[in-house]
Amino acid sequence: MVSSRISTFFLLLLPNYIYSLYQSPPRIVKQPPTDELLFQVYSPQQTVNEKPFVIECEAEGEPAPKYRWIKNGKNFDWQAYDDRISQQPGRGTLVISSPRNEDLGQYQCFATNEWGTATSNSVFVRKAELNSFKEQGEKSESANEGEPFKLTCEPPDGWPKPNVYWLIQNEDGSIKSINNSRMTVDPEGNLWFTNVTRQDTSKDFSYACAATSLFRNEYKLGNRVLLNVIPSGVTAAQNKYAPVAQYVTRKNEVALRGSKVELYCIFGGTPLPQTVWTKSGNPLQQSERVTQGNFGKSLVIKHVEFEDQGTYTCEASNGVGEAKSYSISLQVMASPYFIVEPELANAAEDETVELKCEASGVPEPQIKWIHNGVPISDSPSNSRRKVTPNSIVIEHLIKNDTGNYGCNATNSLGYVYKDVYINVLALAPEITEAPSDKDVVDGKTVTLTCRVFGAPKPEVKWVRQGVELTGGRFLVLPQGDLEIREVNFLDAGLYTCHASNKLGETNSSATLKVKEHTRITDAPEDYEVAAGSTATFRCNAVSDSSLDLTIDWRNNGQLID
């Protein structure tokens, strides 16, 4: 027989408190993410309440697993460090109380007991940081009224990449954010004026570029910029400029499936150009997932799917000159994701077990199998084991086939990993839910319960008066229960459930009593009587002599007292 997922049904019936008494290879229940973990390093001058940095790893197994870590491909002896690093009792989770620069690296956890080794995700641990702006002093810029204009920002380095925006800083030190249809910040941090007005002149305020780190919960303020607007000398009605591209997303853009992408089409001009977006020549329907940002100058797609791939065109017009358009070809790529995940497999000796693993992604991922923490090509050979990229099949299982197997799908964008185990058990049959005495009326269907587990899967037979019950009105259900249809009085008696495999046998019995069903022998009849006279309905019934008989009368469904 072939075992896939949690292979043999009888093992699913095993109660947890019993199952824990038997062997089990480790199973990872908590682990780090597949991409990265960030930590923060504080300087000695900073008075902060540092939170411990945690790299999670926890596994279940019988016996309880022991843990080890590797860092940058080498065994990581965390005990050799000072008391900055500890491991949670009974778990593999590392706790770093005061992170330092040297804690950066690639970490992976292994949980081992006598039956196998489970492997966690491999995670890159790196420092979150936000540097300061370069000291440049206050700058002055000049712009012509009505014309498009750009204020340049040189944001500081940081990880994750800082969020850059512009502020207006008043002379009294107060600041306010910029949020209007004429001013737009591009992804590089530059501030674009669709057109400059006299009100943009720095009279009692200045412009400043700022950068924030959400992880570090801090921001840095750049140097002040004073803007001088040179009047055009003409009326507003005369001061017109046709649309001109200021900042646009590159023509061939790439988005990652599941992430967010923002396409930019920032056009300058006077009056303010209006932007219309289309996809493959058709009007773009906005939704909860696809919206416009920056007053129509950008298109935001959340939770990108493959269906979002295509050509997006923005057209900007303001009634002056010709409308300007720009097209962006969006390609959707994807880090690996599972189509079919491998599942834990509990099986018995001599059975066949199959682990399946299918993954997709763009580019197409490469699938490799891990066995007890090492590439399967480096594990001991097994002539009964057949390995393909999408499956592992082991025939004629033996006890030593017990162990952990991991499926790792990788492409240039990342990886996805799942660690499972094959648990080969040898258990004599045990009845976990025994049959119980039952009463049933003739003509009905009754089910006698008998739930068992064992490895190999026990064979279940039902016997009455020394005769095995098969076929006809008797049906042994897959879970071991006995179903008897159209019960008659001759079916009364003692029934015994027998469960057996090559390691032993067990049985349990119950008694079935068959009662005569209640029937009406003299039913009431329809008839008519004159108003005001007495009407009498008769009803007589018979039932099993061991049962009390009660006759109720109802009128239009309501019980008559």
Least confident of 168-177, 180-189, 265-274, 396-405: 168-177
238 domain-assigned:
yes
**253 and 148 in one domain?**
yes
395/382 Cα distance (integer angstroms): 10
Query: What is the value of pTM for the model shown?
Result: 0.77
Q: Mean per-residue pLDDT for 228-247? A: 90
The residue ranking higher by pLDDT, 363 or 531, is: 363
Average pLDDT of the residues in 313-326:
96
Q: What is the pLDDT of residue 536?
A: 83
In a domain, 16, yes or no: no
401-418: pLDDT as tens digits = 999 999 999 999 999 999
User: For all residues of the chain together, what is the average pLDDT?
Assistant: 91
pLDDT at 49 over 60: no
- Judge if 362 and 444 occupy the same domain: no
Percent of residues, the chain, with pLDDT higher than 90: 76
Spell out a b/e string for 476-487, using b for 16 or more CB atoms within 10 Å of the CB, else e: beeebbbebeeb
Same domain, 216 and 92: no
pLDDT at residue 45, as a whole number: 57
Q: Are the beta carbons of 370 and 419 closer than 8 angstroms?
A: yes
What DSSP letter does each residue of 92-134 carry, written as one string?
Answer: --EEESS--GGG-EEEEEEEEETTEEEEEEEEEEEE-EE-PPP
Q: What angle do CA 389, 394, 398 make, to 5 degrees?
A: 150
| End-of-domain residue from the set 127, 156, 176 | 127
393 within domain boundaries: yes
159 and 262 belong to one structural domain: yes
Mean pLDDT over 371-396 rounds to 96
Domain region containing 203: 131-327
Q: Domain for residue 64, yes or no?
A: yes
Q: Point out the least confidently predicted range of 7-11, 112-116, 439-443.
A: 7-11
Tell me whether residue 2 is in a domain.
no
Reported as a single tens digit per residue, the pLDDT across 433-488 is 999 999 999 999 999 999 998 888 899 999 999 999 999 999 999 999 999 999 99
Asked, for residue 434, whether it belongs to a domain, the answer is yes
> Does the pLDDT at position 8 exceed 80?
no
State the pLDDT at residue 46. Answer: 59
User: Which of 127, 151, 182 marks a domain boundary?
Assistant: 127
Same domain, 252 and 360: no
Residue 114 shares a structural domain with residue 157: no
Residues 451 and 496 in one domain: yes
Identify whether 257 is part of a domain. Answer: yes
**Residues 62-91 pLDDT 10s:** 999 999 999 999 999 998 877 889 999 999
CATH number of the structural domain spanning residue 439: 2.60.40.10
**Same-domain check for residues 95 and 228:** no
**Averaged pLDDT, 10-20:** 41
Could you give the 3-state DSSP secondary structure of residue 236?
coil
Answer with the one of 280, 305, 327 that is the final residue of a domain.
327
For residue 360, give the H/E element and its range.
Answer: strand 358-362
Nearest to 238 by CA among 201, 270, 194: 270
Instruction: Note the pLDDT tens digit of each residue in 513-530.
Output: 999 888 888 888 887 888
> Residue 308 pLDDT > 50, yes or no?
yes
Question: What is the model's pLDDT at position 453?
Answer: 87
The Cβ-side half-sphere exposure at 534, using a 13 Å CA radius, reads 1
- Residue 4: is its pLDDT beyond 50? no
Residues 204 and 302 occupy one common structural domain: yes
Q: Is residue 520 part of a domain?
A: no
Q: Are residues 386 and 467 in the same domain?
A: no
**Residue 205 carries which side chain, given as an amino acid letter?**
F
Whether residue 353 is found in the same domain as residue 293:
no
Angle at 455 between CA 449 and CA 458, to 5 degrees: 40
Strand order from edge to edge, sheet including 385-388: 2-3, 352-356, 391-394, 385-388
Percent of the chain, pLDDT > 70? Answer: 95
pLDDT at 20: 43
Q: How many domains is the chain built from?
A: 4
Shared-domain flag, residues 123 and 148: no
